[in-house]
Structure formats: C-alpha cells, structure tokens
Structure 1
C-alpha cells in the first residue's frame, strides 16, 4: 500500500476566504465545523450514512458527534496537521446533501 499524497494545509488567509463561500461552516486551522439538524434520530442516522458514502468515496472522513437528532461534523486533514482542500471539498459535498 502506498501513501496517498495529501494537499497542503491552508494558510489562515486561504481558510478565511474559503469559509466565506461556506457560510454554514465555521472554524480555524484546527478544523472546520458544522451542525446538521434532522427531524429525529432515525433521520440523523440516515444522514450520517449518506455522509459516510461520500466520505468513503473521497477517502476522507469527518469527525462526527451524533446527539439525538443533530450531527456535529468536524473536518480536518489530520495527516496535514490542519485544514486542506480535501476538507473544503467534503464540506461542499455535505452542503450539497444538506443545504441548510
């Protein structure tokens, strides 16, 4: 198995600019965050499964905290030590599934 090269960590200015295009997300160099509110627990589980398929296809996985009907997502490229373009792309795809 070979290591897949990861994109470089975004600078603070790059991250600030990127977050303006992702208004449902907030954060800093340590990770970007969004919560997704669903009608109930089964719907939250179903939403998590939808996100899981997208994340698996990208080979880039969010940190997830599920509380009853709310998913709290944190995106960070651990191998890069911060937020990268991979995190922004996953955020865009999550927004496509759950526009807010």
Structure 2
C-alpha cells in the first residue's frame, strides 16, 4: 500500500478516541501492555506477530518479562502514522484484551539525545559513524534497528555551555504526574513551551526536556 494512507493529526486523534490502549508519540502509535504473567506476554507477543504477518505491516515490539512495549509507524511514509497502523492497533488491542493484558501508558517513555551546535555538518558524521546510525530527512540520527535512542542536533547560534540534554517524550495524559514528581525531586521547571515541552534543570544545571505530542501538528 502506498504512503497516501498517512493520517492527519485530526484523523489520528479520531482513531485514538477508539483506541484507549494507545498514545501518539514521535510519529508512532505506542502502547505498553502489562500481561498476567511472562508466559502470557510471550503468547501475546506471538499473537501480535501473527497479526503483523497477516497484515504485512510490522510493529516494533519489545518484550520485558510480563510487559510488551509496542510501536506502530509506517517507514514507507517517512515514519508517520498511517491507516495501516491504526487498523493493526485495533487488532492488537482486541488480542490484548483477550489475553487479559491491561494498558500501562505511565510506562511509556521515548528518549532522544540532543546536542546544541552552531554547525551540524562539522560533527554529524562523527556521531553517525560511532553509533552506526542513519540520518533521516531532517538530519537526525536514528538506530536502524530501533534499539538505541535517537540523536538530534539542536542548531543554535548560541550553544548552551552544557551542550547535551535528554528529551523524554511521555503521553500528555501522564505528563502532569511526571512533572510533579520531577519538581518534588528538586527539578527546576520552565513551562514556557508547555505542553509541547517543559525544560527541567537539576541542581547541577544539567537539563532535560519532558515532551508531549500536545500542541504539535502532523503533516
């Protein structure tokens, strides 16, 4: 199927209204499914594999004891959400319910590493070579096997003294609890760009951003 089935943000939101197990994050539909046991998780994993083969559309699935982390995106559409992703998400949800699995959106985290730089070209190839990553259309570096965190270059004429920071994308529905916990742990929170992201600074001036899809458009 061609990439013409890419969904707009309103269409994605409409699909998510009927997919309570799932959240949108960094160009993918994502869920964490907690199963009654490790064996049940493995059985569900196999079931998801069978559904993927039947649909000829394959999600990323990470099995961790009794929990499965699933991400659905269409690589032929530039890693955006398509109608195929939504259709498979519905089938996976039905299989999860039949297996006694429950959604655990509070477990969803997607990590990216950001580097402040005033010259992306001067450093990109070094990182790409060291990590064995590939560059996407925007120049960000991603693990071709989806195992490691993405690395992106935040181009700025005034790089921060501490050039590295971590972006942690969480579901918007879970972000308030995450931010409250960070504040309680002593983090300083800058909400200027909320809800898209909140800059968190620790007691030693190290930064991270808690990001959500809220307020972001999808082409």
TM range (shorter): 0.7 to 0.9
Moved over 2 A (4+): 4-8
SS of the residue corresponding to residue 5 of structure 2 reads coil
Answer yes or no: is the 8 Å Cα contact 1:26–1:34 preserved in 2.
Answer: yes
Root-mean-square deviation over aligned CA pairs: 1.5
User: CA, structure 1 residues 29+11, in 2 after alignment: closer, same or farther (shift >3 Å)?
Assistant: farther
SS of the residue corresponding to residue 19 of structure 2 reads coil
State the partner residue of 2:53. Answer: 56
Query: Which is worse superposed, 83-92 or 21-30?
Result: 21-30
Q: 1:95 aligns with which of 93, 98, 107?
A: 93
Please report the TM-score for the alignment, with normalisation by the length of structure 2: 0.42
State the partner residue of 1:11. Answer: 8
Query: 1:2-37, CA deviations, whole angstroms, 9 ceiling, x for partnerless residues?
Result: xx4344211111111111111111114600111111
Distance in 2 between the 1:41 and 1:24 partners?
19
Which structure has more strand as a fraction of its residues? 2
Unaligned runs of at least 5 residues, structure 2: 103-219
State the partner residue of 1:75. Answer: 72
Please report the TM-score for the alignment, with normalisation by the length of structure 1: 0.87
Relative CO higher for 1 or 2, CA cutoff 8 Å, sep ≥ 6? 1
Distance in 2 between the 1:15 and 1:46 partners?
29
Which structure has more helix as a fraction of its residues? 1
* Larger-Rg structure: 2
Q: 1:86 aligns with which of 84, 87, 97?
A: 84
Count of residue pairs brought into register by the alignment: 97
